[in-house]
């Protein structure tokens, strides 16, 4: 069973946005054994969309179309689809009520252009979009299935997860595929490859290993292909176990989870509370943790202290220590972490202070010179990271490394 | 003059990597007046590549092909091109010397498979790749130009900048294109469309308007096409000015900038300091501001107070007020913003407290019920946002809306 993805939008063709939707969709389709044959990006122009639909229908069984469903004049997808399928549009009452409710909640008048968001293809099945005003549509036509979704990433993902993928899993003719992901942290891709080389070399031909690196973490994804789901699952489990052992302390978790989720689960299990004090990560660490629903059970908060004055006012850092050692120093992160544990009444507190970059700081310390401390019930653990010049990457890597150190510490203590 | 981009690689179709090359190429091609008609991604499979080349040559004048030039078995681009153009391959002596030198420098033996990297199409012009072993190729065939490059981003960019773009700028028939972007915030796409409808309807045919929405902000992009660059620039300026006026208080800035950059610039200009107190945005607001280099001149920090206790300990929120009104209330955000202004010694402080979602809070308030306060030198301004159920979107929208309110306040005061 083959799929094609058609992405509609001038903004992609002029390079204003990078098409991240297609990769996300491809991953999810592959997971359920549907191969993506081609990804095509065309402009918000009827002739181009018609040609792309026509060609895709000659190559694939399922055609996923995203973008161009907004209420503004430059979005032409819906009328073009009406032309393509030779159908008119009808106003869907349920979608209309939903659109009106959204506007009412925001205290805004519903304009005619908003009501048009409820117009769908006559014979389409509506894929109800609870997160936005543009509904998705499912059209079956001449033995092909066309799935039309808005291009806004969170709306597309919502529709894929809630409405499209569950339905596609019932289709026959999918390639029997299975995946297993492991989360590792604290070690770069090439060092990790060195650690697991023997396993990688001896993987059977039906199992493939991929490295998916992000700042501070590397995901390992095993993909297996084979007719017998149970045999496949057993094999994947076997190799996942081998990889876990080979990764040693850098193994964090099985499954497609984030470091923040691992931390929160470990703390919850132990009934512990966590807090943070951030200088160079500037709230990024807190944001990673608070992005997870239910994090408030564990995470008490973070003092993002960007000035020396606030390090003293919020965390009680001794002004003399700041004067003597400067803000980016082991002495200061120790005081920050102890202060955060106290003021947030937490069992553990992470503190990070460093030079995010791209330039050096006023004292001449280079970009990427970042101190971290973790204050726990018994002792305070510190580490110096020496990273690169890219501000965004440094912030993300420092946060991931700090979470990695915390997990290692907690697990060490549990032994 | 039209271009098409063909990206070859299984890793993109399984979603293992996001195709960032195409957006980069599109930006650079647009800059020199070459419009990208379509972006196509196909697998490392001869039949698929042949079909993509054939279709692209019917639509575009310049076809840029990347990927599949590596030495491994799964890279088939070069042999497929030889079939497509009906040419053999020849071993290029200069490229061979370069490949051998690279291996010698790394202390590695040159295998036959590595020598094959020096094989190029018989009639192709070699685009010498000083950064890698796979050379680029330029093939002119039946009034079309085919540019073949490796898919490794830094090698592709090097070839584009050094060899391809300089040559394309000499081509006639390029469309003189120009863009102008405006940042707006605080108003949804459809209401914005309503405000600027008269301008949009009367735009001349050579100027096109696009809406680019993200949570809390909408970018407006004007694209102009015309033979005279100066005339075009003047026209874009004229319509950008009209849009600015029509957007009124929702207009934030000209150019491709973020809300955080606008805030930081406004504060810097006025010599003001900013701080925050975050509950439901959980550090996201601080992260937006601190992501910008030099933000520490303005931004003093944020107290991410996820627990009631820390709202009192860090921000001095009266426990009685917390008890009476609960954490998500106008009374509490007012105290949080006043406390943050004081403890961070800032002129202005933003506070946000609400139900991020996806569920309701313990007191029964629905997801998306979010209070915001801004405490300034003279008075405190508050607002209630009523958003949706998606946690990530609520966090991002609340942060954007809060920044919008702050900009509006600062500008109002300047009048």
Min Cα distance A270 → chain B (Å) is 19
pLDDT per residue over B111-160, tens digit each?
A: 888 899 999 999 999 999 988 889 999 999 999 999 999 998 889 999 99
Q: Which residues of chain B have a CB within 8 Å of the CB of A11?
A: 210, 212, 221
Contact assignment for B296 to A306 by CB distance below 8 Å: yes
Q: Hunting for tokens 């379509």 — which residue is that?
A: B38
Same domain for A94 and A118? yes
How many interchain CB pairs under 8 A, A with B?
285
The backbone region for B70, taken as left when phi is positive above 0, alpha when psi lies in -120 to 50, beta otherwise, is beta
Q: Do B282 and A287 touch (CB under 8 A)?
A: yes
Other residues' Cβ atoms within 10 Å of the Cβ of residue B111: 10
pLDDT of residue B205: 86
Separation between Cα atoms, residue B224 and residue B382, nearest integer Å: 41
Query: Contact A73/B345, CB-based, under 8 Å?
Result: no
Distance from CA of A411 to the nearest CA of B (A): 25
Chain A positions in Cβ-Cβ contact with residue B190 (cut-off 8 Å)? 71-72, 111, 113-114, 133
Element (H, E) at B210: strand B207-214
Task: State residue B118's pLDDT score.
Answer: 94
Same structural domain for residues A264 and A362? yes
Please tell me the distance in Å from B48's CA to the nearest CA on chain A: 9
Closest CA–CA distance from residue A415 to any residue of chain B (Å):
30
pLDDT, tens digit, 9 for 90 and up, residues A368-403:
999 999 999 999 999 999 988 889 889 999 999 999
List, in order, residues 6 or more apart from B375 with CB less than 8 Å away: B334, B337, B338, B340, B341, B348, B349, B351
What CATH number is associated with residue A188? Answer: 3.30.70.2860
pLDDT at B73: 60
User: What's the Cα-to-Cα distance from A246 to each of A113, A182, A216, B240, rounded to whole Å?
Assistant: 58, 12, 18, 58
A213 with A286, same domain: the answer is: no
Which of A288-297, B37-46, B71-80 is predicted least confidently?
B71-80
Last residue of a domain, one of B168, B191, B224: B168
B258 contact residues in A (CB cutoff 8 A): none
- The C-alpha atoms of residue B247 and residue B195 are separated, in whole angstroms, by 7
Q: Which CATH number do you get for residue A46? A: 3.40.980.10
**C-alpha to C-alpha distance for A52 and A7, rounded to whole angstroms:** 10
Torsion angle, CA of B186/B188/B191/B194, rounded to 10 degrees?
110
Q: For residue B36, which residues of chain A lie inside 8 Å, CB to CB?
A: 13-15
Q: Do B294 and B223 share a domain, yes or no?
A: no
- Tell if the CB–CB gap between B393 and A24 is shorter than 8 Å: no
Structure tokens at B47: 């039949």
* Residues B286, A291: C-beta atoms closer than 8 Å: no
Measured between alpha carbons, how far is B12 from A30 in angstroms, rounded to an integer?
12
Say if CB A395 and CB A282 are below 8 A apart. Answer: yes
- How far is the alpha carbon of A238 from chain B, nearest alpha carbon, in Å? 23
CA B187/CA B180 separation, integer angstroms = 20
Report the residue of B5, B12, B41 to disrupt the A interface, i.e. the one with the largest count of A CBs within 10 Å: B41
Using an 8 Å CB-CB cutoff, list chain B residues near A285: 283
Cis peptide before A358 (omega within 30 of 0): yes
CB atoms A108 and B295 under 8 Å:
no
- Report the alpha-carbon distance of residue B82 to residue A111 in Å, rounded: 57
Cβ–Cβ gap A40/B36 under 8 Å: no
Is the CB of B314 less than 8 angstroms away from the CB of A303?
Answer: yes
Peptide bond into B114 cis (omega under 30): no
| CB-CB neighbors (< 8 A) of B211 in chain A | 70, 72, 74
User: Alpha-carbon Rg of chain A, whole angstroms?
Assistant: 26
**Residue of B66 and B171 predicted with greater confidence:** B66
**Residue A230 sits in which domain range?**
177-254
Other CB atoms closer than 10 Å to residue A30's CB: what's the count? 20
**What single string gives the DSSP state of each residue in A26-53?**
HHHHHHTT-EEEEEEEE-S-HHHHHHHH
Asked if residue B72 has pLDDT above 70, the reply is no
Q: What 8-state DSSP symbol labels residue A324?
A: H
* Closest residue, chain B, to A132 (C-alpha): B388
Q: Do B188 and A106 touch (CB under 8 A)?
A: yes
The pLDDT value recorded for residue A389 is 84
CB distance A306–B290 less than 8 Å?
Answer: yes
Query: Do B290 and A131 count as a contact with CB atoms less than 8 A apart?
Result: no
Distance from the Cα of residue B358 to its chain's centroid = 27
CA dist., res. B18 & res. B398, Å (int): 28
Clarify whether residues B157 and B244 are in a common domain: no
Would you tell me how many other CB atoms lie within 10 Å of the CB of residue B269?
11
Distance CA B409, CA B376 (A): 9
- The last residue of one of the domains, among B232, B254, B276, is B254
User: Looking at the predicted structure, is the pLDDT value of residue B74 above 70?
Assistant: no
By Cβ distance, the residue of A114, A283, A285 closest to B190 is A114
Q: B31, B225, B282: which to substitute to probe chain A, counting the most A Cβ within 10 Å?
A: B282
Record: contact A19-B15, CB cut-off 8 A: no
Shortest CA gap B8–chain A (Å)? 10
Same domain, A267 and A410: yes
Q: Which pLDDT score, from 0 to 100, does residue A371 have?
A: 98
Residues from chain B contacting residue A161 (CB–CB below 8 Å): none
Residue A106: per-residue pLDDT: 78
| Chain segment B184-232, per-residue pLDDT in tens | 999 988 899 999 999 999 999 889 888 888 899 999 999 888 878 888 8
Digitized pLDDT (tens) for each residue of chain A, 415 residues in all: 899 999 999 989 998 889 999 999 999 998 888 999 999 999 999 999 999 999 999 999 999 999 988 877 777 999 999 999 999 999 999 999 999 998 888 788 888 889 999 999 999 999 999 988 999 999 999 999 999 999 999 999 999 999 999 999 888 888 777 889 999 999 887 788 889 989 988 999 889 888 777 889 999 989 888 878 888 899 999 999 999 999 999 999 999 899 999 999 999 999 999 999 999 999 999 999 999 999 999 999 999 999 999 999 999 999 999 999 999 999 999 999 999 999 999 999 999 999 999 999 888 999 999 999 999 999 999 999 998 888 988 999 999 999 999 999 999 888 8
Residues of chain B contacting residue A18, judged by C-beta atoms under 8 Å apart:
18-20, 23
User: Using a CB-CB distance cutoff of 8 angstroms, which residues of chain A are in contact with residue B208?
Assistant: 10, 74
- In B160-177, which positions are buried (b, 16+ CB within 10 angstroms) versus exposed (e)? beebbbeebeeeeebebb
Cβ contact, residue pair B194, A287, below 8 Å: no
Q: Say if the Cβ atoms of A38 and B13 lie within 8 Å.
A: yes
Do A163 and A189 have their domain in common?
Answer: no
The per-residue pLDDT for B4 is 98
Mutate which of A11, A13, A209 to disrupt the B interface (most B C-beta within 10 Å)? A13
| pLDDT at residue number A188 | 80
> CB distance B210–A11 less than 8 Å?
yes
Judgement on whether residues A74 and A53 belong to the same structural domain of the protein: yes
From the list B24, B291, B303, the residue facing A392 with the nearest CB is: B291
Domain count, chain B: 3
Same domain, A217 and A270: no
List the single residue in B with minimal CA-CA distance to A32: B14
A202 and A312: one domain? no
- Is B234 found in the same domain as B339? no
- Taking CB atoms and an 8 Å limit, are B26 and A18 in contact across chains? no
Q: Global pTM?
A: 0.79
Question: Are B18 and A18 a contacting pair at CB < 8 A?
Answer: yes
Contact across the interface for A313 and B284, Cβ inside 8 Å: no
Asked if A38's CB is within 8 angstroms of B26's CB, the reply is no
Instruction: Write the residue in A30, A41, A343 that is nearest to B15 by C-beta.
Output: A30
Q: From B168, B188, B217, give the residue that closes a domain.
A: B168
> Measured in whole angstroms, how far is the alpha carbon of residue A52 from the centre of its chain?
29
Do residues B82 and B195 both lie within one domain?
no
CATH for B342: 3.90.950.20
């Amino acid at each position: 069973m083959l799929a094609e993805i058609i992405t509609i939008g001038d903004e992609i063709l002029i390079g204003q946005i990078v098409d991240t939707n297609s990769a996300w969709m491809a991953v999810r389709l592959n997971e359920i054994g549907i191969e993506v044959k081609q990804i095509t990006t065309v402009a918000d122009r009827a002739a181009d969309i018609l040609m792309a639909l026509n060609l895709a229908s000659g190559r694939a069984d399922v055609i996923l179309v995203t973008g161009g469903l907004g209420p503004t004049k430059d979005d032409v997808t819906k009328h073009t689809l009406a032309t393509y399928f030779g159908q008119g549009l009808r106003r869907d009452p349920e979608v209309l009520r939903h659109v009106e409710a959204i506007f009412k909640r925001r205290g805004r008048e519903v304009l005619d252009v908003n009501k048009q968001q409820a117009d769908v293809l006559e014979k389409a099945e509506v894929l109800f979009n609870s997160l936005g005003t543009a509904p998705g549509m499912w059209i079956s036509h001449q033995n092909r299935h066309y799935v039309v979704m808005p291009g806004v990433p969170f709306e597309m993902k919502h529709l894929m997860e809630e409405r499209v993928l569950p339905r596609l899993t019932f289709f026959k003719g999918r390639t029997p595929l299975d995946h297993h992901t492991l989360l590792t942290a604290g070690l770069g891709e090439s060092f990790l490859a060195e650690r697991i080389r023997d396993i990688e070399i001896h993987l059977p031909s039906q199992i493939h290993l991929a490295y998916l690196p992000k700042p501070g973490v590397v995901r390992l994804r095993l993909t297996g292909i084979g007719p017998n789901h149970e045999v496949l699952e057993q094999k994947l489990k076997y190799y996942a176990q081998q990889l876990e052992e080979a990764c040693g302390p850098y193994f964090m978790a099985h499954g497609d989870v984030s470091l923040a989720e691992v931390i929160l689960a470990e703390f919850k299990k132990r009934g512990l509370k966590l807090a943070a004090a951030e200088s160079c990560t500037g709230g990024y660490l807190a944001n990673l943790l608070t992005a997870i629903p239910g994090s408030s059970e564990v995470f008490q908060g973070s003092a993002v202290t960007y000035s020396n004055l606030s390090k003293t006012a919020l965390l009680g850092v001794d002004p003399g220590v700041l004067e003597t050692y400067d803000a980016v120093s082991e002495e200061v992160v120790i005081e920050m972490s102890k202060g955060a544990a106290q003021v947030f009444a937490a069992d553990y507190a992470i503190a990070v202070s460093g030079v995010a970059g791209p330039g050096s700081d006023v004292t001449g310390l280079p970009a990427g010179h970042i101190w971290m401390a973790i204050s726990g019930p018994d002792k305070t653990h510190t580490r110096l990271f020496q990273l690169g010049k890219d501000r965004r990457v440094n912030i993300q890597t420092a946060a991931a490394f700090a979470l990695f150190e915390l997990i290692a510490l907690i697990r060490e203590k549990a032994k």
